Amino acid sequence: MIQKGNSPSFVLAVECSHTRGMGHLFRSFQFIDCLKSKNLDFTYLINDDEAALKILNAKGIPYTVVDYSDDLSNWENKIINDNKTDIWINDRFVSTAKNAEKIKSSGSFLALIDDVGDAEELCDVYFAGMISFTKNEYKAKRVYKGTDYIILNPEIKKYRKIRKAVNRVIVSLGGADPFDTSVSVAEELIKTDFEFDILLGGDASCENKLSRINRGRFKVFRNVPSAIQLFSGYDLAITGGGVTCCEANSAGLPCIIIANAPHEYNTGKYLEKIGSSVFAGGYDNWNHNLIDNINDLNIEQMSKAGISSFTLDGAQNIIENILSEFNNAG
């Protein structure tokens, strides 16, 4: 299937859900822009998630719905043959060895991004951006790791600025907020004098709970055209430990991070270590006292640390290295 000398054709396989969150969906748009800028053909695969399909339809992105749990039918081979796929990118978080075996046996070059599944040993190239905060051992043949491979929205560049004090707070706890952590955060913020608002993702389901405690204190946003643009009007964000905190920090917006999943603990600890965020703990036992002590944070120092710690070329770096590894493959 590998056709050297011609422009390769890609599959971009993305997975998201209420429990897994929407970060893989949103960052996939950076890959789409990069592939389009290089005039490279691609097929976009997504699982049957209602919120994700609604977003893709609104953006006019063509897609094919697949059942990633199907280990029997070898749908991977059909996708590869129908689309003459040379390079397959899995941005799914948990890719199975069976999935990797079928992709490889059909002749495609396989790249994994921030993946914790057992497909790693079989892939051709592995990228650890977000997962590099957590991962200690690598089994892939070729590994690229570090913050240069975190996929952040280039729009951040327009809104970068240094914050110096906290007046307004934005709460954004992921595309799913599976444990309704936004509610417990709002219950604490409502006791303070800070202005604050809440951004809910497409799979979040706590809007009714928030409306019961609101009493006109905060706005609830959903489906905003640009979260980065929205964030530009705030001085501090309270986020999960996914891509959002990295994007916020990169724009100079310090964070209090509350982990919604095991891998998010190390992200929170890493960003606290570099000085751009404070880690509050997990969703089930986060440190509520941090809300009372927001004014004790050195916001200016945190803001500068975030801006200096992240590149905005993650998607570009990944695609260019995939192309280089593909062209050098035997």
Tokens of 30: 């950076």
**Residue 263 vs residue 7, higher pLDDT:** 7
Instruction: Tell whether 253 and 272 lie within a shared domain.
Output: yes
pLDDT number for residue 295: 96
Instruction: Tell whether 220 and 190 lie within a shared domain.
Output: yes
Instruction: Tell whether 217 and 244 lie within a shared domain.
Output: yes
Q: How far apart are CA 198 and CA 43, in angstroms?
A: 34
Whole-structure pTM value: 0.77
Number of folded domains that form the chain: 2
Domain of 319 in residue numbering reads as 10-152+313-328
The average pLDDT across 152-176 equals 94
Mean pLDDT, all residues of the chain: 93
pLDDT number for residue 2: 44
4 lies in a domain?
A: no
Instruction: Tell whether 29 and 169 lie within a shared domain.
Output: no
Using alpha carbons, select from 72, 29, 21, 84 the residue that is nearest to residue 47: 21
pLDDT number for residue 201: 86
73 lies in a domain?
A: yes
The average pLDDT across 158-173 equals 97
> pLDDT tens for residues 184-216?
999 999 999 999 999 998 788 899 999 999 989
pLDDT number for residue 3: 46
Q: How far apart are CA 196 and CA 89, in angstroms?
A: 38
Tokens of 276: 């751009």
Instruction: Tell whether 148 and 162 lie within a shared domain.
Output: no
Q: Is 89 exposed, middle or buried (0-12, 13-18, 19+ CB in 10 A)?
A: buried
Q: How far apart are CA 180 and CA 322, in angstroms?
A: 38
The CATH number of residue 66's host domain is: 3.40.50.2000
> pLDDT tens for residues 262-320?
889 999 999 999 999 999 999 999 999 999 999 999 999 999 999 999 989 999 999 99
> pLDDT tens for residues 104-138?
999 999 999 999 999 999 999 999 998 898 888 99
Instruction: Tell whether 295 and 167 lie within a shared domain.
Output: yes
The average pLDDT across 151-169 equals 95
pLDDT number for residue 23: 80
Instruction: Tell whether 84 and 129 lie within a shared domain.
Output: yes
95 lies in a domain?
A: yes
Tell me the three-class secondary structure of 116-151, residue by residue.
CCCCHHHCCEEEECHHHHCCCCCCCCCEEECHHHCC
The average pLDDT across 138-159 equals 93
The average pLDDT across 250-260 equals 97
Instruction: Tell whether 143 and 202 lie within a shared domain.
Output: no
Using alpha carbons, select from 121, 69, 113, 71 the residue that is nearest to residue 91: 113
> pLDDT tens for residues 34-59?
999 999 999 999 999 998 999 999 99
Helices (H), the chain: 23-37, 50-59, 75-83, 97-105, 156-159, 181-189, 207-214, 227-231, 243-250, 262-274, 289-292, 299-309, 314-328
pLDDT number for residue 272: 97
244 lies in a domain?
A: yes
pLDDT of residue 95 exceeding 60: yes
pLDDT of residue 4 exceeding 80: no
> pLDDT tens for residues 8-28?
999 999 998 876 777 889 889
Q: How far apart are CA 244 and CA 238, in angstroms?
A: 10
Instruction: Tell whether 125 and 188 lie within a shared domain.
Output: no
pLDDT number for residue 330: 62
